Amino acid sequence: MKKKAIYKSAVLFGAVLFLCCVALESNAWARAGRGGSAGSRGSRSFSSPSMPSRPDTSSPMSPSSPGPGMSSPQRRLDSPQAPVSPGGGLMRSPFMQGLAGGLAGGLLGSLLFGGSGHAAPSGSQSGGGIGFLDIILIGALLYFGWRFFARRRREASQAAAYYGGSGPDPEGAFAMPRQMDASPYGRDSDLDSYSGGARGNPLDVIGRTDPAFDEERFKETVQDIFFRVQAGWMNRSLEGIENLLTQEMIDYFKGEFEAMRQKGQINRLENIAVRKVEPSEAWQEMGKDYVTVLFTANLLDYVVDDKTGGVLEGDKLNPVKFQEFWTFCREIGEPAWRLAGINQVDEPSTRH
């Protein structure tokens, strides 16, 4: 009986810790993509994007030039530091939050009311053994506990790198692994590709087949797409941005906009300032150019009720600083770039 009491106390503590992790993990702000990963990176969809190999100081993007319909940023880089937003990832999904809560609630119920609600090993009537549901929950606890603390550790590293502080070296213990030929399908194409590395410019891969390609014009183009997509997200509409998205991203945003309308919510995005636009990967496959870009930006990000205007989530006074990978693609040689996917740091794409 003593061992059984110790076991129940340990699992009860773990369940409470799990619920706390879920609550904290789901507290990320929304913005375009809901702070998660979506879309496709072609054959690299199953690998996390590589961090840029070195700071891009050749042509920093000016924060004083916001995209169409966006208000001007009002904060400097030396303003009080706010935490880097980690993004929501899997646990932003209402289904996953409900499932997690249901599992943890079921475990608490079984502990408080005698354990009759879960399966026990065959022939055991005392309920003293470890049931199948317990095994699942213990595994879930371990996974989400690890994910929560790993994300917090990455935040500290990214914040130090963002502000040029004395934190961990981005190329040190917390450096992102280089995704060289990480595709499960083998090489991306018969052409060269670039992913990380200490030397070279990833956009050189595109320039080899397009002599007219201009890096500065490309950065301006993708920054404009970034601002316009954020405006479309706030308006819950594809009007004016549909031609900037792949079909997969169009379908994704349609679903998100419909969900926001049904909930009666509007995600306000204000004072957007892009601090850095850093190409990190470039490759060609299936007749298309792909470029993954790391955006470093800050903005006011909060959710309001579309009838009352009351704030439901987020903060309308303190800006959120974040980093996201956006992947753009086009037909080789064509001028028009489209948004193909959004990734959080250290997260692969989520297929839709």
Q: Determine the angle formed by the axes of helices 94-112 and 132-163, rounding to 10 degrees.
A: 130
In angstroms, the CA 238 to CA 229 distance is: 8
* DSSP string across 157-173: HHHHHHHT-SSS-TTTT
Of 175, 195, 211, the position where a domain reaches its end is 175
230-286 pLDDT per residue, tens: 999 999 999 999 999 999 999 999 999 999 999 999 999 999 999 999 999 999 999
Residue 6 sits in the same domain as residue 52: no
Q: Are 41 and 340 in contact (CB under 8 A)?
A: yes
Of 175, 191, 222, the position where a domain reaches its end is 175
Q: Are 39 and 342 in contact (CB under 8 A)?
A: yes
Residue 161 sits in the same domain as residue 278: no
Task: Return the SS3 of 330.
Answer: strand
Closest by Cα among 306, 214, 321, 300 to 257: 306
- Alpha-carbon Rg for the chain, nearest whole angstrom, is 23
Residue 149 sits in the same domain as residue 99: yes
Residue 4 sits in the same domain as residue 37: no
Residue 230 sits in the same domain as residue 143: no
Quote the domain boundaries for residue 138: 1-29+89-175
Backbone angles phi, psi at 84, to 5 degrees: -70, 130
CATH number at residue 278: 3.10.450.240
Closest by Cα among 298, 282, 296, 269 to 332: 282
* Domain count for the chain: 2
Residue 244 sits in the same domain as residue 127: no
Residue-wise over 107-117: b if at least 16 C-beta within 10 A, else e? beebbeeebee
Residue 36 sits in the same domain as residue 21: no
Q: Are 324 and 37 in contact (CB under 8 A)?
A: no
Residue 130 sits in the same domain as residue 206: no
Give the amino acid at 149.
Answer: F
Closest by Cα among 263, 300, 352, 292 to 85: 300
Residue 222 sits in the same domain as residue 320: yes
The one-digit pLDDT tens for each residue of the chain (352 residues) are: 555 555 565 555 555 455 444 444 433 445 665 567 777 787 787 677 878 875 544 444 443 333 333 333 333 333 344 444 444 434 444 444 555 555 555 555 555 555 444 444 444 444 555 666 677 778 777 877 766 666 555 555 444 444 444 343 433 333 333 333 333 333 444 344 554 433 468 899 999 989 999 999 999 999 999 999 999 999 999 999 999 999 999 999 999 999 999 999 999 999 999 999 999 999 999 999 999 999 999 999 999 999 999 999 999 999 999 999 999 999 998 999 999 999 998 776 554 4
Q: Are 221 and 201 in contact (CB under 8 A)?
A: no
Q: Determine the angle formed by the axes of helices 247-263 and 215-235, rounding to 10 degrees.
A: 30
Residue-wise over 284-296: b if at least 16 C-beta within 10 A, else e? bbeebbbbbbbbb
Of 126, 160, 175, the position where a domain reaches its end is 175
The two structure tokens encoding residue 351: 């297929």
Beta bridge mates, 276:
296
